[in-house]
Structure 1
Amino acid sequence: MSAGARGADSLPARLALRSAAFAERWFPDAYVFAVLGVVVVAAAALAFGATPRATVEAFGGGYWSLVPFTLQMAFVVIGGYVVATAPVVARLIAALARWPRTGRGAIAFVALVSMLSSLLSWGFSLVFAGLLVRALAQRTELRMDYRAAGAAAYLGLGAVWALGLSSSAAQLQANPASMPPGLLAITGVLPFTQTILLWQSLLLTAALVAVSLAVAYATAPTGDAVRSVEAFPDAADARRAPLPSRTRPGEWLEYSPLLTIALSLLAFGWLYVEFAGKPAVTAIANLNTYNFLFLSLGLLLHWRPRSFLDAVARAVPATTGVLIQFPLYGGIALILTAAPGADGATLAHRLSLLFTRVASHDTFALVMGGYSAVLGFFVPSGGGKWIVEAPYVMQAANELRFHLGWAVQVYNAAEALPNLVNPFWMLPLLGVLGLKARDIVGFTFVQLLVHIPLVLGLLWLLGLTLDYVPPLMPGLAAP
């Protein structure tokens, strides 16, 4: 038996392939998944006594609530495309794509790039890792499974992003000026040294990276089980299309760098002011600033407006899923939080009570982690719902004398778990790769099976090493 055949017959690879086959047969399109989510949540709200009027008003009111975020996510894809298809960045990706020597090695390499880059910026991780997969897919001699590589590119957002500088919950808790007054009174200020820079958090992150790499390598199909990019007709070509020739005198400004230079002076002037006035980490954490940086950089790197516009045109089709599905998630979120039942309690409040009432100091990490994972599956907010949940969750942590900074990390790590099988965050990457959620979810499901006991177990064990610290208010010394 050849080495390739043996690899395909390994237990992890067989499990991944069977999961992938099941997903391809039974996993619906991401749009169907989102609609089913709306139906299930609406039915649950009605079952607990919410009136039909309150339910439909919550759905309609929430439908457009994610419009700014939807556009931001669409520009994450467009900006990533524009930058990555610029000649200089395309050459960098091509150079990285020459490093792996085997298909399995390529998949592990993508996973590593995705996870490490997500600790700096989850948006960059999605697009950059996706474009790296497309560049690797052109190397037919690697025999790289395109599905498994796509799943590896998603590991940054599915595993560790919330444990890094992209963590909106940690960012919020470290900046008292951004915190709601009620939350500040409960938690005080939690600097990064009490959240993402705890040695316990760094150990958790390292463990997740190492285990995720091992799973990605072990589950990569080999031999006859490999499905290369040619098996997916919707997969876009990663190569940069040549710039068409100028045909009319009126097009001269489109092919001249004059407008690019003028606009770049304004754009990078604003970026200089923005980054000079606040820490770089804080500035880049703002999605508007992040997207503005990528669009400005893409314009400059393409040099000619015509080249820039052609890149944008090629990127727009990849945003289709984001534009049509994110509003449905907005509707789900508002039904959960704004459609009261017969006793006045919302579904979100019922979930919080279900988990927080059964917790003790020693079990808080497990209960909180389970709660965060379950709710994160239905309300995939990327940490944004922390503003809503933090007051009652952190109050419970105070009452149970649980380390407040670790409570934030419990939320962060556990909320990432449902990302591994929830199509919400997959959409930008799927647009880049030209795949469907069912193409990669079989592989990410295996990661989820491994991550659930690993994450919850480490959150519990490492939480036992931390002592409770009372809330630190601005201007006061640490107790």
Structure 2
Amino acid sequence: MEQVTQAKPLPSGSGAGNTMERTAARVTRWAERWFPDAYIFAAIAVIVVALGALAIGAPMQRVGIAFGDGFWSLIPFTMQMAVVAISGYVVAVSPPASKMIAWLAHLPKSGRGAVMFVAFVSIAMSLFNWAISLVFSGLLVRALARRADLRMDYRAAGAAAYLGMGATWALGLSSAAAQLQANADSLPKALLAITGVIPFSETIFLPQSMLIVAALTIASLAIAGLSAPVGDRARTAHDLGVSLDDIDMNVAKPARPGEWLEYSPLVTILIVLLGVVWISHEFTAKNPLLAISNLNTYNFVFILLGMLLNWRPRRFLNAVAKSVPSTAGVLIQFPLYGGIAFILTKAAAPAGLPLSEHLAHFFVAISSQASFPAVMGAYSAILGFFVPSGGGKWIIEAPYVIEAAKSLQVHLGWAVQVYNAAEALPNLINPFWMLPLLGVLGLRAKDVVGFTFTQLIVHIPLVVFMLWALAPTLTYHAPVMP
């Protein structure tokens, strides 16, 4: 997963290709020159949000306190995301999973076909669980890149692996907003009194919602294929100086008696058996879909699965050690986003409102029943650029979004889906969610943003139009209280 700093120059024929490919190439060249490292991106976002809070009258002391209070607020989530990257990698480099990924990697017949195949896998898996989509797709890209007979643009394939997070994840089963609204026990009481319970049948399983998923999938696959450089214009992992070496799966015999347990499956079997007892209880006591959507449960399952598939503790530990570099960006940057969230929501002017409420009230004030989906979609996308957190951001926004929907007689489930559809858009150019994937790929945000930006310029009008056009096909229903 290490990236060698010395990369080969861009091929001279990079200016050829169709319009999509040329657009992606131009933006990529611009990004390679001007796009900052993801850490700088996050740091600039902190400064912009702080200036916005000061502009509405928040005292400097309150802004600074909010930043410091929020700096560690995402620590549990940071740890969860780090474990997502570690557990996903450990599972994927195990002998059984490696064979599956290797088998899938042999299916595409061309570099452009490989990019589209990765995009399809990423999008399909994101509808069930975004974390699986992110890690599995990244490792599939690495497996495809090892094929000597396939000249695949590694940057385009990396961007394709990110499409699940940038296009469809929030419209699937792991949508934090939909999960919260479907489960009364998960909602804060104050929010429950406003929104009531909104079941999956009124959100992600709406035919209109599924139509958006289908449209985004078709559009994303087409853009991924058309924007991928081919032939001499493609830059492979080798051209970019990316090492594709993985851990040696062969485990030697112990060198001394004290190492015996490290090479024996006995410890693994006993721990996995204990874990299975808890997993069995969790999945029988709850709806299985709700259980697996809990990130802690997901990570627990994958850690145990990684232990089991690697069989021997020494092999498991080797895989963990190899995966740790992919978490570096997550560990240092997520605290900055925690600070941003607190500035937005807690740094208010004396006797005034915080910046997040000013933004919400502005967009609600300029909307009508007809324009509400498009206006709120734009608002969600803009705020999501600074606070890329599905569940946490929905709790902040839901009171204003749902109250506006109720006053304008907009279908409440559709209001949730408006949020969800727009939620993924800023992910296409915001490095926040890219970090675990980039760590696996050995790339930086600037390497893939040209291709994800090309997706964004098509997704924005498509999503906004469909949110607006489909809203009149739904009828408003009063909130259902438990």
Do Structure 1 and Structure 2 share a fold, with TM-score over 0.5?
A: yes
Q: Does 1:117 align with 2:125?
A: yes
1:279 aligns to what? 287
1:426 aligns to what? 434
- The structure 2 residue matched to 1:229, chosen from 237, 259, 269, is 237
Instruction: Tell me, yes or no, if the aligned pair for 2:14 and 2:233 is still in contact at 8 Å.
Output: no
CA apart distance, 1:244: 4.2
Written as runs of structure 1 = structure 2, the 5 A alignment for 1:46-445 is: 46-238=54-246, 240-342=248-350, 344-445=352-453
Using the alignment, how far apart are the partners of 2:177 and 2:378 within structure 1?
17
Using the alignment, how far apart are the partners of 1:162 and 1:237 within structure 2?
33
1:45 aligns to what? 53
Using the alignment, how far apart are the partners of 2:345 and 2:193 within structure 1?
23
Does the C-alpha gap of structure 1 residues 254 and 210 become closer, same or farther in structure 2, counting only changes over 3 Å?
A: same
1:10 aligns to what? 18
1:477 aligns to what? none
Q: Which moved more, 1:147-156 or 1:270-279?
A: 270-279
Q: Which runs of 5+ in 1 are unaligned?
A: 475-479
Using the alignment, how far apart are the partners of 1:423 and 1:71 within structure 2?
18
Instruction: Tell me, yes or no, if the aligned pair for 1:7 and 1:221 is still in contact at 8 Å.
Output: no
CA apart distance, 1:181: 1.9
Identity %: 61
Q: Deviations over 1:410-462 (max 9, x none)?
A: 00000110000000000000000000000000100000000000000001101
Q: Which moved more, 1:455-464 or 1:177-186?
A: 177-186
**Secondary structure, counterpart of 1:62 in structure 2:** helix
**Secondary structure, counterpart of 1:232 in structure 2:** coil
Does the C-alpha gap of structure 1 residues 127 and 6 become closer, same or farther in structure 2, counting only changes over 3 Å?
A: closer
Amino acid at match of 2:284: A
**Secondary structure, counterpart of 1:171 in structure 2:** helix
TM-score where L is the length of structure 1: 0.96
Instruction: Tell me, yes or no, if the aligned pair for 1:383 and 1:412 is still in contact at 8 Å.
Output: no
Instruction: Tell me, yes or no, if the aligned pair for 1:126 and 1:156 is still in contact at 8 Å.
Output: yes
**Secondary structure, counterpart of 2:298 in structure 1:** helix
Instruction: Tell me, yes or no, if the aligned pair for 1:118 and 1:125 is still in contact at 8 Å.
Output: yes
**Secondary structure, counterpart of 1:385 in structure 2:** helix
CA apart distance, 1:49: 1.5
Using the alignment, how far apart are the partners of 1:239 and 1:259 within structure 2?
22
CA apart distance, 1:384: 2.3
Instruction: Tell me, yes or no, if the aligned pair for 1:235 and 1:433 is still in contact at 8 Å.
Output: no
**Secondary structure, counterpart of 1:96 in structure 2:** helix
CA apart distance, 1:63: 0.3
**Secondary structure, counterpart of 1:384 in structure 2:** helix
Q: Deviations over 1:393-426 (max 9, x none)?
A: 1011000000000000000000110000000000
Instruction: Tell me, yes or no, if the aligned pair for 2:54 and 2:63 is still in contact at 8 Å.
Output: yes
Q: Deviations over 1:180-202 (max 9, x none)?
A: 22222222211111000000000
Does the C-alpha gap of structure 1 residues 12 and 239 become closer, same or farther in structure 2, counting only changes over 3 Å?
A: farther
Using the alignment, how far apart are the partners of 1:105 and 1:240 within structure 2?
30
Instruction: Tell me, yes or no, if the aligned pair for 2:247 and 2:318 is still in contact at 8 Å.
Output: no
Q: Does 1:24 align with 2:21?
A: no
CA apart distance, 1:237: 2.4
Using the alignment, how far apart are the partners of 1:298 and 1:208 within structure 2?
33
Amino acid at match of 2:188: P
1:466 aligns to what? 474
Using the alignment, how far apart are the partners of 1:301 and 1:175 within structure 2?
34
Using the alignment, how far apart are the partners of 1:235 and 1:34 within structure 2?
27
TM-score where L is the length of structure 2: 0.96
Using the alignment, how far apart are the partners of 2:248 and 2:343 within structure 1?
44
Using the alignment, how far apart are the partners of 1:7 and 1:395 within structure 2?
50
Amino acid at match of 1:361: Q
CA apart distance, 1:232: 2.8
Amino acid at match of 1:9: G
What CA RMSD, in Å, does the superposition of the two structures yield over aligned residues?
Answer: 1.3
Amino acid at match of 1:220: A
CA apart distance, 1:242: 3.2
CA apart distance, 1:383: 3.3
CA apart distance, 1:249: 1.6
